Amino acid sequence: MRSEDFSIKSLGPCRIPSPLKLELEDGIPYFNFVSDENKILYEVEKTNGAISKFAFEKAGPREKIYYDPSKIRAGIVTCGGLCPGINNVIRTLVMQLYHNYGVRHIQGFRYGFQGFIPSFKHETMNLNPESVQNVHNIGGSILSSSRGPQDIGEIVDCLERQDIRQLFCIGGDGTLRGAHEIALEVEKRNLKIGILGIPKTIDNDIPFCVKTFGFETAFSKAVEAVQAAHAEAYGNNYGIVIIKLMGRDSGFIAANTSLACPDVNFVLIPEVPFSLEGENGFLNCLEKYLNKKQLDGRHPHSVIVVAEGVGQDLMGNTGEEKDASGNIRYKDISHFLKKQILNHFEGKIPVNVKLIEPSYMIRSLPANPHDAIFCYHLADNAVHAMMCGKTDLIIGYWNGHFTHVPLDSMVREKKRIDPRGDFWRQVLFSTGQSREMFFNPKT
């Protein structure tokens, strides 16, 4: 890692005094502006006596801004899967731009990046305080969404035609990669258009962000599903319920749900491969768990939480089939596990196996209060960064502070659970499952 990995691009010098009223009438500062020299350390823990010198720019309002608010047009787009909190972010962006900075022209591009492409004929939406006033009460996205890349040149052509000088891209990994490509094309054409990403992914797999919005709503609702699953499993002799949660390449929702709800007996995540057969295989561990409950005089039942991307190797997924976004189309682990469990216990134990998949219900919900507040902070800091001419970045959250993270650094990797870290150890202790059931953990 190099120190310049965290440097932020700028469209030019800031010479316009900020319209924010951050001082009292007597001239004593009431709220403080933030300087580009304010840094948030990447690492705060000392290792071998050394402290990391790498640091992020701290987010927040600057004393001088780049854009003249009365002369600019801003754009907002939402892409990818739905997620609790999207409308909260849209609302705050509009309110901050309009009321605090005086931006009067804000366009919402419909159906993701398709909204920029003339052949799709999607109309834009005029956004103002009246049109977004109550959108935080509903789930989904008022701008709708789509998956898959679009021609970057056509997107930038659209921005030029409509005289858009600021573009806020709300989305996950694929969206932010697209935003970075748009920023590079804008730079290549020497245009003064700011491109800023607001990370949105239920999976919580964006690097340099401790968490992303919608994540807490997702796993808090997933806990409710686990509680229902536990009642269902307990209601049958040898009842087994498999709950499939979001998490293509990372298991944060599955692991956090399991840690928050001790009714979970097994949790399977993509970061830690496992085997089905053998002494330490999942099926034998499940059988020993049920038999021990029976021997102890307790009601034999089990709740199993799986992330959607787990076990693809066991199902022979070669990765050749892709979705519209270019991601590997994953096979259904829950139906696969159900079949394997039934085959394993046939003639041994009369298990009753049921499946629950609450993903589509969870991702379409409005944000819970904690996520709503987090959305507000993200969008608030996004507007401040954009107004002072920063571009090709996202708003991150690191060591308790909101930060500026270059898109170039973000798109290089995904965040994963450390199989050798304290968090995974705590999950294993909570569920009681054996570490020996897993092998060759991914790092």
Residues taking part in catalysis: 203
Q: CATH 3.40.50.450 occupies which residues in the chain?
A: 3-212+367-410
Q: Exposed/middle/buried for 393, CB within 10 Å: 0-12, 13-18, 19+? A: buried
End-to-end CA distance of the chain: 17
- The alpha carbon of residue 304 and the mean position of all alpha carbons in its chain are separated, in whole angstroms, by 23
Tell me which fold the domain 3-212+367-410 belongs to. Rossmann fold (3.40.50)
CA distances in angstroms from 14 to 24, 52, 73, 379, listed in the order given: 23, 30, 18, 21
Using left for φ > 0, alpha for ψ between -120 and 50, and beta otherwise, residue 199 falls in beta
Residues 413-423 have pLDDT tens digits of 788 999 999 99
Q: How far apart are CA 167 and CA 84, in angstroms?
A: 21
Q: Which residues pair with 10 in a beta bridge?
A: 390
Are 71 and 105 within 8 A, CB to CB? Answer: no
The CATH number corresponding to 215-363+419-437 among 3.40.50.970, 3.30.1360.10, 3.30.360.10, 3.40.50.460 equals 3.40.50.460
Digits of tens for pLDDT over the chain (443 positions)?
A: 444 478 999 999 999 999 987 765 555 656 688 999 999 988 877 666 555 668 999 999 999 999 999 999 999 999 988 899 999 999 999 999 999 999 999 999 999 999 999 999 999 999 999 999 999 999 999 999 998 889 999 999 999 999 999 999 999 888 999 999 999 999 999 999 999 999 988 888 888 888 888 888 988 889 999 999 999 999 988 999 999 999 888 999 999 999 999 999 999 999 999 999 998 899 999 999 999 888 777 889 999 999 999 999 899 887 778 776 677 788 999 999 999 999 999 999 999 999 999 988 888 899 999 999 999 999 999 999 999 999 999 999 999 999 999 999 887 778 899 999 999 999 999 999 887 787 654 44
The angle subtended at Cα 56 by Cα 397 and Cα 379, nearest 5°, is 40
Q: CATH 3.40.50.460 occupies which residues in the chain?
A: 215-363+419-437
Residues 310-362 have pLDDT tens digits of 999 899 887 778 776 677 788 999 999 999 999 999 999 999 999 999 988 88
Q: How far apart are CA 278 and CA 438, in angstroms?
A: 12
Are 323 and 248 within 8 A, CB to CB? Answer: no
Contacts of 389 (CB under 8 A, 6+ apart): 10, 11, 12, 14, 65, 66, 67, 194
Contacts of 282 (CB under 8 A, 6+ apart): 266, 268, 274, 275, 276, 437
Please write down the long-range contacts of 316-324, taking CB distance under 8 Å and 24 or more positions apart: 323/147, 324/147, 324/148
